[in-house]
């Protein structure tokens, strides 16, 4: 499970870590006891107590730490996952031409950049909801009439953690990545998750 607090362990991973660590830890404890006492029965008894007492404690300790975001971050920045160069359209381009770019390049979004530096974003959802579902002719409808504007953007140096937090907070799956205020590409939640797997 991945969310804005970072990468979370599945329960089965925590269970396997618990078993593997307890085996190593218990064997080392038993070895120390045997070396000091030379009593096999005492060594085995302490080993059994060690396993059954500490194993559940370790498991719940691991799960508790997994649920906190303290000291957790995803290394890297958007530059490692952003798709560049960006596919662009002008605000005066028709929705038909935007759709053609999406289909030809097999992408789900296009940056709409104006000459004044402002920019928006057109996604497949925008085309469906703001053009087709309301009966607009895509060959006569302009990109500026269906784009999301202003586009929500992040700077190229933004950490993956901060980017995921922004996506979660705004309930979106794409962001425009900018450098010095200029759109450099698009990053999607899917690309981030793929990079983490």
Q: Where are the domains of the chain?
A: 2-66, 78-196
Section 138-165 average pLDDT: 88
What does the alpha-carbon distance between residue 1 and residue 85 come to, in Å, rounded to a whole number? 30
Query: Tens digits of per-residue pLDDT, 113-126?
Result: 877 766 899 999 99
Reported as half-sphere exposure (CB side, CA atoms, 13 A), residue 135 has a value of: 0
User: What count of other Cβ atoms lies within 10 Å of the Cβ of residue 10?
Assistant: 10
Confirm if 151 and 176 have CB atoms less than 8 A apart.
yes
Section 133-140 average pLDDT: 93
Q: What angle do CA 56, 59, 62 make, to 5 degrees?
A: 150
Name the CATH architecture for the domain at 78-196. Roll (3.10)
Total-model pTM: 0.57
Kindly state the tokens that stand for 135: 């009966």
pLDDT at 5 > cutoff 70: no
Query: Tens digits of per-residue pLDDT, 65-120?
Result: 766 656 555 555 556 678 778 889 999 999 999 999 999 988 889 999 877 766 89
Mean pLDDT of the chain, nearest integer: 82
């Amino acid at each position: 499970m991945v969310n804005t607090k970072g990468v979370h362990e599945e329960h089965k991973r925590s269970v396997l870590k618990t078993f593997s660590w307890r085996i190593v830890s218990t064997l080392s404890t038993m070895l120390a006891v045997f070396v000091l006492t030379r009593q096999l029965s005492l060594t085995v008894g302490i080993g059994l107590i060690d396993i059954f007492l500490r194993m559940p404690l370790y498991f719940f300790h691991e799960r508790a730490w997994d649920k906190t975001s303290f000291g957790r971050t995803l290394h890297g920045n958007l530059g490692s996952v952003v798709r560049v160069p960006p596919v662009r359209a002008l605000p005066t381009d028709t929705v038909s031409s935007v759709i053609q770019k999406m289909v030809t390049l097999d992408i789900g979004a296009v940056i709409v950049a104006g000459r004044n530096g402002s920019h928006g974003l057109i996604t497949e959802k925008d085309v469906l909801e703001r053009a087709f579902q309301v009966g607009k002719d895509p060959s006569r409808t302009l990109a500026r009439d269906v784009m999301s504007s202003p586009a929500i953007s992040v700077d190229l140096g933004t950490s993956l953690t901060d980017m995921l937090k922004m996506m979660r907070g705004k309930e979106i799956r794409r962001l425009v990545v900018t450098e010095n205020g200029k759109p450099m590409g698009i990053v999607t939640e899917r690309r981030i998750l793929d990079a983490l797997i």
